[in-house]
Chains A and B, each alone.
Chain A
Amino acid sequence: MEHLLYIALLTAAGTLAGILVGAIPGLSATMAVAILVSLTYGWDVTSALAVIMGIYQGAVFGGSITACLINIPGAPSSVITTLDGYPLAKRGEGGIAIGWACTESFLGGLIGILALWIGTPLIARIAIGFAPQDYFLLAVFGILLVGSFAEGSFGKAMFTASLGIVMGLIGLDLITGMPRLTYGSDLLVKGVDLVTAILGLFGLSEVLFQLYQNSSAHVIQKVGRVVPPLNLLVKYLPLTFRTSCIGILIGALPGVGGPIASLMAYDHAKRTVKNPSRPFGEGAYEGVVASESANNAAIGGAIIPMLTLGIPGDAVTAVIIGAFQIHGLRPGPMLMAETPELFNMIVLSLVFATFFFLIFGILLIKPFIKLVSIPQNILLPPIIFITVIGAYAINSSLIDVAWMSFFGILGFVFKLYKFPIPPMVLGLVLGPLIDETFRRTMISYRGNFGDLLGAIAVSPISLSVVALMGVTFYMMFRKPAKAKAG
């Protein structure tokens, strides 16, 4: 009981921090989780995961606060919320917009957790029977994630992903045990530390970029009443359920994640709701309902491939894999079989976090708004300092701080010239997996590609992965058309 209370308190702290970070434009959930992951080195894994899950849930909801009040999404998954949330705020219904975002994120979050709880053990059981080529196909499937981060240039996304993979291969080769791409340096034999790279790429680079843009305080719309009417809440339950299911399915596809989930849910609401409260794009409650229930439901979906296959569902889950590595764990089917208590812990933390952000979202909305109005040039320098402490904390080494600074500047240059950063982190996570599984597969087929293709053609698991890759490709090409329509 005491342990449960302790976990609840940690999750509450994480959720609060997540909402605050999510509500500040420019500071993302990925950045918050990246900084925290490095600091939890000395903690036990359950405590660390409790805080991280709280941050993840809280930040995705927190992004909707600024999306509604200042038309700037605090997180990428809240972009669609601005379409109807901000028009609502301009009508003086900012509080109701946040209230809808909060309750729908709560309902979507719970449905997503239910799917996670039921789906994860089933998929883990299937994953135990995977052959090396299935893992290779899955790792390649994960790399398809770059498509959803392309921001207009697939080539730039592919460049950063490939750079990540190659940098992920620096150090000792897992199969031969020989140093690779180390150029005779002892510093490189250990390889590139994932958490150090993440801290620089998501933490320092984001802060430097915000300072470069020299953002100032924002004009905040009025808040007013927060709690949405109960009769409307009941009326929208079928829509909530449908859009949450969309969120779970999209979230579970590697790389498609919350932003696309909310976009597709919004598109679904536009097509299926015959008489919206107002036209979509002019403050329709249904628009906020669809977007917010889907993006929080996508969290449960994104955790499923991370836990069962070791393939991140989005950028935050890529960072969470770093947390597992720090604590000596490797996500995959064996993790589910060997440490089922860890899975229960994750589900429990997510449930706690969902309830906490509902409470905090409704009760503490005014202090959150005050924080959002603090100029960024006051908030950002202390965050730089915290990224430095975070990098130092990994091994109590200033060399890690120097590495973090290198990745921070690299990330800043990438941001300046619109090279997407998440594919690089994805490459760092999946690079060693792709290398190992591809070479083991080729060793087992004695280097014969024909045999490999034949094995894929007769294996139901391999064929399912290939089919999933096809679906992901379809989603990637569907995205720009829908974005224009929205």
Chain B
Amino acid sequence: MKAVRYKSGEVEANILFLLVAMFFLTSSFFIDAGNYPAWSSAKIVPILLSSVMAICSASSLMEAIRKRQVTKATENVFQVKVLTYIGVFFVYIGALFLLPFWLASAAFLLFSFLFWKSLPLVKAIVASAAVVAVSLTLFSKVFYITF
């Protein structure tokens, strides 16, 4: 028999998806339908599909709860390393609004190479500078993107 493996946060994630579905379902009822009859109004498809979403997420939630009850080994998906990296990625996206594109990107790449222990410091600096310089030059010349 195949062992059931529960991933941490699976039930919570499914609850979140159910809430998203309920949010869309509730807001679909407030769409301005104009003078169209019910079956051809602008709210019909969002209502139907949000209901499908809610039913599917509820069934997925039940499945996750059952899995949590019978599982013997829980896989931890909240790896500090991955969460930190995602956090820094969002700092990078924020920095793009404040700093020049090349500077924020080079700093992010350097951090990535060091964080994932891909390259030693000197090689990481050279690689980040090279990737940013080559990419930005190539994309601006070939794809006509203004940075």
Question: Which residues of chain A have a CB within 8 Å of any CB of chain B?
Answer: 39-43, 153, 155-156, 158-159, 162-163, 165-166, 169, 173, 175-176, 178, 180-181, 183, 208, 211-212, 375, 377-378, 380-382, 384-386, 388-389, 392-393, 396, 398, 401-402, 405, 409, 412-413, 416-417, 419, 431, 434-435, 438-440, 442-443, 446-447, 449
Contacts and interface: CB of A to CB of B under 8 A. Distances in A.
> Which 10 pairs between the two chains have the least Cβ-Cβ distance?
A381-B112, A42-B144, A159-B56, A377-B116, A442-B40, A162-B53, A435-B45, A155-B56, A377-B118, A155-B59
Contact of A417 (B7, B41, B89, B109): B7
A153 B63 contact: yes
A158 B59 CA distance: 11
B121 interface: no
B147 to A, nearest CB: 8
A208 B81 CA distance: 11
B135 interface: yes
Given A181-B24, A211-B116, 19 more contacts: A155-B59, A162-B21, A163-B21, A169-B46, A176-B36, A178-B34, A181-B27, A181-B31, A212-B82, A385-B105, A385-B108, A385-B131, A389-B139, A393-B139, A396-B145, A396-B146, A401-B96, A405-B90, A447-B38
A163 B53 contact: yes
B56 A158 contact: yes
Given A155-B59, A162-B50, A413-B13, A438 B105 contact: no
Contacts of B36: 175-176, 439, 443
Interface of B: 7, 10, 13-14, 17, 20-21, 24, 27-28, 31-32, 34, 36-42, 44-46, 49-50, 52-53, 55-57, 59-60, 63-64, 77, 79, 82, 85-86, 89-90, 93, 96-97, 101, 105, 108-109, 112-113, 116-119, 127, 131-132, 135-136, 139, 143-147
B52 A375 contact: no
B143 A443 contact: no
A393 B143 contact: yes
Nearest to A439: B40
Q: Which DSSP category, helix, strand, loop or mixed, fits chain A's interface?
A: helix
A427 B42 CA distance: 17
A43 B24 CA distance: 37
A43 B143 CA distance: 7
B23 to A, nearest CB: 10
Contact of A159 (B28, B60, B112): B60
Contacts of B49: 162, 165-166, 431
B49 to A, nearest CB: 5
Nearest to B20: A163
Contacts of B59: 155
Nearest to B75: A416
16 contacts: A39-B145, A155-B55, A158-B52, A159-B56, A166-B50, A169-B45, A169-B46, A176-B32, A183-B27, A211-B85, A211-B116, A382-B109, A385-B105, A385-B132, A389-B136, A393-B143
Given A155-B60, A416-B77, A166 B46 contact: yes
A131 to B, nearest CB: 16
Contacts of B10: 417
B93 A402 contact: yes
Nearest to B52: A162
Contacts of A442: 37, 39-40
B96 to A, nearest CB: 5
Contacts of A402: 93
Contacts of B14: 417
A311 to B, nearest CB: 17
B46 A42 contact: no
A156 B52 CA distance: 11
A242 to B, nearest CB: 35
A405 B94 CA distance: 11
Given A175-B42, A393-B143, A417-B13, A385 B135 contact: yes
A386 B135 contact: yes
A413 B117 CA distance: 24
B131 A382 contact: yes
Contacts of A381: 109, 112-113, 116, 118
Given A39-B145, A405-B89, A173 B40 contact: no
